[in-house]
Structure formats: C-alpha cells, structure tokens
C-alpha cells in the first residue's frame, strides 16, 4: 500500500490545484471512493520519483459557518486516519486568516506530522504571506506554486522523511 498524504486547508488556498499538479496525467484515475464521503478525493501522486496516495479534502468548504467546527472535526478526523503526513496549505498572497489559525491549532493536536505549504508563492506577491506563515509555529513553510509547479523539489524534500 502506498503512503498516504492528505491536503488540508481552508477554501481557495489551492488544495485542488496542488492535488491535480501531483496527480498530473493520471487524473483520469481519480474518482470518489465508493462508500466514502464525497468531501474527499483520492489520486495516485508522483513527485520526483516518490509515489504516494494523495487525498484532497473539501470538508471545510461548507457554506454554513455555524456548522464549520463540527464538520471540520468530523471530516478531518476521518481523513487523518491512515494519513502518513498532512500538507497544510495556506495562501501566501492572502496571508493568514482566523480559519488558518483555527486549522493550525487543530492540526497541532493531531498525531500526524504536518508540512506547512505556502501556496501561490510565485513572484513577489507571496513574500509577506510566507513570512506571516512562520507565526503559526509549524516550522518553516515550504513555498510552492501549485499552479506554476514551483517549489516541488522543496516539497519533495519535506515529504521524504514521511513517505
Ligand atoms: P481549493 O479551494 O483550496 O481547492 O483551491 P483551488 O485549487 O480550487 O484554487 C483556488 C484558486 O486559487 C483558483 O483560482 C486557482 O487557480 C488559484 N491558485 C491555485 N494555486 C495557485 C498558485 O500557485 N498561484 C496562484 N496565483 N493562484 C493559484
Ligand atoms: Mg478544492
């Protein structure tokens, strides 16, 4: 069985873009797993010779904010079971939001190792958000651009000890 890497983050940070980037041409293999919540998408990922299962989560993308904490917890707990490592994605252009901080607090209590990924870091626009990300206390963020394929070697190095 391949190691499992789960992508977590608030809406619009680029989780699905990263998923598609890592799955690449094998996108056709991606499908909702039968019997599993539709909030998760599984794919076979390849990154510089690393093979792993990648899980895209959308469980936090609920319209009703009042239901967020409960759903967050349920979705994340379910998805984190069996995950070898979590990619916690933030938007380096938008900077940190209260929801990022809430997710960060939650993830810190979980037994799964977390790699903080500052996405949309291409160009100058991502620089402030990248530095802000240090304040989460989750170590040095890996600067990536899922859309442009930048930072993939750094992501590889960060994943290597866990997969
Ligand atoms: P999700 O809601 O976290 O799954 O985010 P999506 O993958 O749907 O992306 C949300 C938006 O961010 C889309 O408009 C993407 O094109 C954009 N986006 C994703 N990755 C990048 C990136 O690396 N750089 C920039 N500038 N935009 C990105
Ligand atoms: Mg998505």
Residue 152 maps to which CATH number? 3.40.50.300
Q: Is 118 in the pocket of ligand 1 (CB under 6 A)?
A: no
- Interface ipTM: 0.99
Confirm or reject: Cβ of 14 under 6 Å from ligand 1: yes
- The Cα 94–Cα 7 span in angstroms is 18
Residue 109 counted as an annotated binding residue: no
**Residue 111, domain extent:** 4-159
The tens place of each residue's pLDDT in the chain, 163 residues long, gives 899 999 999 889 999 999 999 998 645 444 444 444 456 789 999 999 999 999 998 756 555 555 555 666 676 777 788 899 999 999 999 999 998 998 899 899 899 999 999 999 998 888 888 889 999 999 999 999 999 999 999 999 999 999 9
* Closest ligand to the CA of 146: 1
Number of domains in the chain: 1
E strands, 35-152, in order: 40-47, 50-57, 85-91, 114-119, 142-143
Q: Cα–chain-centroid distance for residue 108?
A: 14
Cα 130 to ligand 2 centroid, rounded to whole Å? 21
Tokens at residue 45, please? 């990922």
Pairing of strands 4-8, 85-91: parallel
**Full-model pTM:** 0.89
Tell me which residues have their CB within 5 A of the ion that is ligand 2.
15-16
């Amino acid at each position: 069985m391949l190691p499992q890497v789960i992508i977590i983050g608030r809406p619009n940070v680029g989780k699905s873009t990263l998923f598609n980037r890592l799955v690449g041409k094998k996108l056709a293999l991606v499908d909702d797993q039968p019997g599993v919540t539709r909030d998760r998408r599984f794919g076979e990922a390849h990154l510089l010779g690393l093979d792993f299962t990648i899980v895209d989560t959308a469980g936090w993308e609920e319209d009703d904010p009042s239901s967020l904490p409960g759903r967050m917890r349920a979705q994340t707990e379910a998805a984190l079971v069996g995950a070898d490592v979590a990619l916690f994605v933030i938007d380096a252009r938008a900077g940190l939001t209260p929801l990022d901080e809430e997710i960060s607090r939650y993830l810190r209590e979980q037994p799964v190792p977390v790699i903080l990924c500052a996405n949309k870091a291409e160009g100058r626009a991502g620089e402030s958000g990248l530095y802000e990300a240090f304040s989460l206390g989750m170590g040095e963020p890996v600067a990536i651009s899922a859309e442009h394929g930048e930072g993939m070697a750094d992501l590889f190095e960060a994943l290597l000890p866990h997969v």
